[in-house]
Each structure stands twice: as structure tokens, then as C-alpha cells.
Amino acid sequence: MNFPSAPIQEIKDELLAKQQVRLFVKREDLIHPTIKGNKWYKLKYNLEEAKKQGLNKLLTFGGAFSNHIYATASAGNLFGFQTIGIIRGEAHLPLNPILSHARDYGMELHYLDRTAYRQKTEERFINQLKKEFGDFYLIPEGGTNALAVKGTAEILENIDFSYQYVCCACGTGGTMAGLVRFASEKNDSIAEKNIEVLGFSVLKGVFLEKEVKKLLIEVYKNQTLPTVEDFNGDDYNTKWSIAHDYHFGGYAKTTSELLDFVSSFNQKYQIPIEPIYTGKLFYGIFDKVQKGYFARNSVILAIHSGGVYGEG
């Protein structure tokens, strides 16, 4: 299960030239028409594991605007899995574009009120779901688990130029953890010592650092990499951090300033971004360029994680 590697595109801009940095975008939004972006990488090894376990039914959770629900329905359709989506909140008809796509791709949609939805990680609740739906392979909300991190690490494979910064938008931190993992391995080699991974949180609240550490520990505990003996997720050989200044009020919250930025970005560079994830990412990158955060003569690699579904 592999799609061709995403194309990489350089953004040329006066501000970047003035600050003497170069900005490249890895267009994960282009890897597949319906399984776009980081969600594919998160699903990949989970689908393999489901196959290994002989399970042909996937069950997962998400909000009504979840890109993960969209991608899981698409991937299930493409790779021959039945899919069940447990959606937070009440049904609203007509279905929004995400949910109607999921339904068209064969996903069975079920709705749970917010209180019941909170039990989504409890064993008792999962067992109840198994009674109702039969045996299934469970993918957590947002698609993030240790196998997802193994997949997101591959976003940085096969890049044939050097870069000093990798930037991504952070929701659950699953993508960030994969990038840190990859950069850590790469930083073992002498040629690539100084990769720094920078996440831009799209949520309000400072808890993502803990999530990323937890994921890295979970992933590394089953691996025998030379440098992980007493890895505590804290100071691995890659510098990483999460910026909390670009959430614009919280998840899916926006301001006219952000919306203006997104539409002018779309026009100027012909790279579609949206205000929930990649808009906040690029706003943050440009703001940090402006403030001189990135060293002169350095190369920044931004991960375009997808999320643009407007065209159906």
C-alpha cells in the first residue's frame, strides 16, 4: 500500500527573500484524490494490521467535519474494508460534504451524544460496540496511535535536499510525533545534524507536548534503535517544539485576519489551504519568518497535510 511521493514546491516571496530563508512545501494534499494528506500515513499501518488480524471491518470516531472520517471511508472503499463511523453529536440533514462523502464511500454512520461519545476509549464501551457491530478493528479518533506514528514518519522519506526546519500543523500530535521520530533517526548521521521540528497547534491549551512524548515513548518501546535506551521523550537528539500562538481562539475558530491570509495565500501561490489546519500553519510560519525565528540561509520544509475538500 503506497502512493507516489508527494511533490515538493518552493514558495517564492519578498519576505522570505528579505529574511534569506527558503520555504518548500511537501504537497501531501496531492497524493490521492480521496485519501489526502497526513490521514493516509496514519491509516496505512493500521490497515495492514487489520488485515493481519483478519478483520475486514474498521470502526472509528470523529466529529462531523473530521478529515479522518473522510479518509477512513475512502481507504476502506479502496482497500476492501467495511467502515463504521461513530460521529459526535446529532445527525444534521442534509449531510455536510465530509459525511456525505463518507456515506457515498460506504461508511455506516452512527451518531452519539456528547456524553456517550466521551467513553470512546473505555474498554467496556468498546466491548458494547462489538456486541452491536460484530468484531472490528478499532482506529482511535483522529487516527492517532503508535502505528499511525510509524506511518507519519514516512512523510519525510526520500527527500533529496537538506533542510533545517520541518513545520506541520498539530491536532492530536500524531503527525508531529512521526516527523520527530524520522528527524531523530536522520540526526544520527553526521550530514544531517540540525533538523528542528516545529509544530503549530490548531487547538487552545498546552497539552500537545505531553501527547507527542507519550506517542514517541509508545513507538520506541518496541523498537531497538541505537539511541533510545533511556529515551524519555524529552531531549532526544532532535530539537522539537510546539507553537501555541496560532490557534486563533481554538479548534476550527477563526478570525477575519486568518481568513484574509488564507485567501491571499491561495491566490498568490496557487496552493489551496484552509483555515482549520494549514492556514494556521502557514500564518505561523510567515509570522516567525517575519520575526527572524529561522536562521539566515536556512531551508524550511512545510508539510501540507491536506484538508481541502471543498471541491467534493
Ligand X SMILES: *Cc1c(COP(=O)(O)O)cnc(C)c1O
Say how far apart CA 284 and CA 293 lie, in whole Å: 11
Report the residue from 16, 32, 37, 120 that binds ligand X according to the rule CB under 6 A: 37
Question: Does 145 sit near ligand X (CB under 6 A)?
Answer: no
Question: Does 85 sit near ligand X (CB under 6 A)?
Answer: no
Report the residue from 76, 151, 173, 272 that binds ligand X according to the rule CB under 6 A: 173
- Joined grid coordinates for residue 296: 539566515
Report the residue from 85, 272, 284, 306 that binds ligand X according to the rule CB under 6 A: 306
**Span from 116-124, 222-230, 252-260, 300-308 in contact with ligand X (CB under 6 A):** 300-308
Min separation Cβ 86 and ligand X, Å:
17
Report the residue from 69, 102, 112, 169 that binds ligand X according to the rule CB under 6 A: 169
Site string for ligand X, 278-297 (x = CB under 6 A): x-------------------
Report the residue from 231, 261, 265, 277 that binds ligand X according to the rule CB under 6 A: 277
Question: Does 307 sit near ligand X (CB under 6 A)?
Answer: yes
- Considering beta carbons, is residue 67 or 187 the nearer one to ligand X? 67
- Peptide bond preceding 94: is omega within 30 degrees of 0, i.e. cis? yes
**Span from 171-179, 216-224, 254-262, 287-295 in contact with ligand X (CB under 6 A):** 171-179
* Residues 6 or more apart in contact with residue 98 via CB below 8 angstroms: 64, 65, 66, 67, 69, 70, 309
User: Please, is 206 exposed, middle or buried when counting C-beta atoms within 10 Å of its C-beta (0-12, 13-18, 19+)?
Assistant: exposed
φ, ψ dihedrals at 84, nearest 5°: -125, 125
Min separation Cβ 29 and ligand X, Å:
8
φ, ψ dihedrals at 85, nearest 5°: -110, 120
Say how far apart CA 255 and CA 274 lie, in whole Å: 13
Question: Does 67 sit near ligand X (CB under 6 A)?
Answer: yes
Report the residue from 76, 140, 151, 171 that binds ligand X according to the rule CB under 6 A: 171
Residue whose Cβ sits closest to ligand X? 307
Report the residue from 46, 144, 187, 238 that binds ligand X according to the rule CB under 6 A: 144
Question: Does 272 sit near ligand X (CB under 6 A)?
Answer: no
- Joined grid coordinates for residue 208: 500537545
Name the residue among 3, 84, 1 with its Cα closest to residue 49.
Answer: 1
Q: Which residue has the cell 509508545?
A: 218
CB-based contact 57:79 (threshold 8 Å):
no
Say how far apart CA 269 and CA 256 lie, in whole Å: 20
φ, ψ dihedrals at 241, nearest 5°: -155, 165
* Residues 6 or more apart in contact with residue 217 via CB below 8 angstroms: 231, 232, 233
- Considering beta carbons, is residue 76 or 143 the nearer one to ligand X? 143
Q: Which residue has the cell 512523510?
A: 155
Q: How many CA atoms lie within 13 A of 308 on its CB side?
A: 20
- Considering beta carbons, is residue 83 or 305 the nearer one to ligand X? 305
Question: Does 62 sit near ligand X (CB under 6 A)?
Answer: no
Site string for ligand X, 38-57 (x = CB under 6 A): xx------------------
Residues of this chain that interact with ligand X (CB under 6 A) are 37-39, 67-68, 142, 144, 169-176, 277-278, 305-307
